[in-house]
Amino acid sequence: MFKKEMTCIVCPRGCILTVTKKDGDYQVEGNLCKRGINYGIKEVINPVRQVTSTVKIEDSIHPRLPVVTDKEISKDLIFEVMDEINKVTLKAPIHYRDIIIKNICGTDVNIIASRSMDHI
């Protein structure tokens, strides 16, 4: 039987949830409110995260540009996304929300600039 423990992050209380799978149905225990059920099941079926990092940039005030995924991506892809991000070198100027890498790792998620960075 599948069983997983986790801390719920929907609110600051942080209920300790136990998610089990019986006969194809997921069950959540330990939640004090209904929102914990959705969170628990989602974390088991398809946990997703936003990824933030930096890429190299030349001719700008700083040598690194902060970037972020424009949507959440599967948690399993985080390290592959990091590998792709680390291959890039940009040249300033870059504008806030410019697409840095389109459809990263074959997903429909783009890596975009977190800020503008002027040419110097």
Partner 1 sequence: MMNQYDVVVIGGGAGGMSSALGAYQNGAKKVLLVERDIELGGILQQCIHNGFGLHHYKEELTGPAYAERLKQELMDTEIDIKLQTTVLKITKDKEVHMMNEKDGYQVIQAKAIIASNGCRERTRHQIDIPGKRLSGIMTAGLAQRYLNIDGYLVGKKVLILGSGDIGLIMARRMTLEGAKVLGVAEIMPYSNGLNRNIVQCLHDYDIPLYLSHTIAKVSGNDRLEQVTLSEVDEKFQMKEGTNKTFEVDTLLLSVGLIPDNKLLTDISVKMNPITNGAYVNDKYQTNIEGIFACGNSLHVHDLVDYVSEESYEAGKNAANYVLHQNKVKQNIINVKSSDHIHYVIPNQIMLDNKNVAFKFRVTKPMEKALIMIKQGNKIVIEIKKRHLLPAEMENVKVNKKVFKYDDDISIEVKGV
User: Shortest approach of partner 1 to residue 24 CB, angstroms?
Assistant: 26
Number of amino acids touching partner 1 (CB under 8 A)? 28
Fill in the per-residue mask, 43 to 62: x = in contact with partner 1 (CB under 8 A), - = not in contact. ------xxxxxx-x----xx
User: Shortest approach of partner 1 to residue 74 CB, angstroms?
Assistant: 12
State the residue for tokens 């599948």.
2
Which amino acid, 117? M
Q: Choose the binding region for partner 1 from 2-10, 20-28, 102-110 (rule: CB under 8 A).
A: 2-10
Q: Choose the binding region for partner 1 from 23-31, 75-83, 98-106 (rule: CB under 8 A).
A: 75-83
> Does 79 participate in binding partner 1 (rule CB under 8 A)?
yes
> Does 68 participate in binding partner 1 (rule CB under 8 A)?
yes
SS3 (DSSP) at 18: strand
Q: What is d(CA 10, CA 36) in angstroms, rounded to the nearest whole number?
A: 7
Q: What is d(CA 32, CA 10) in angstroms, rounded to the nearest whole number?
A: 11
Q: Strands 52-58 and 64-69, how do they pair?
A: antiparallel
Contact between 103 and 112 (Cβ < 8 Å): no
101: Cβ contacts below 8 Å, ≥ 6 apart: 84, 85, 88, 110, 111
> Does 88 participate in binding partner 1 (rule CB under 8 A)?
no
* Contact residues: partner 1, CB under 8 A: 6-7, 9, 12-14, 32, 49-54, 56, 61-64, 66, 68, 75, 78-79, 82, 96, 114-116
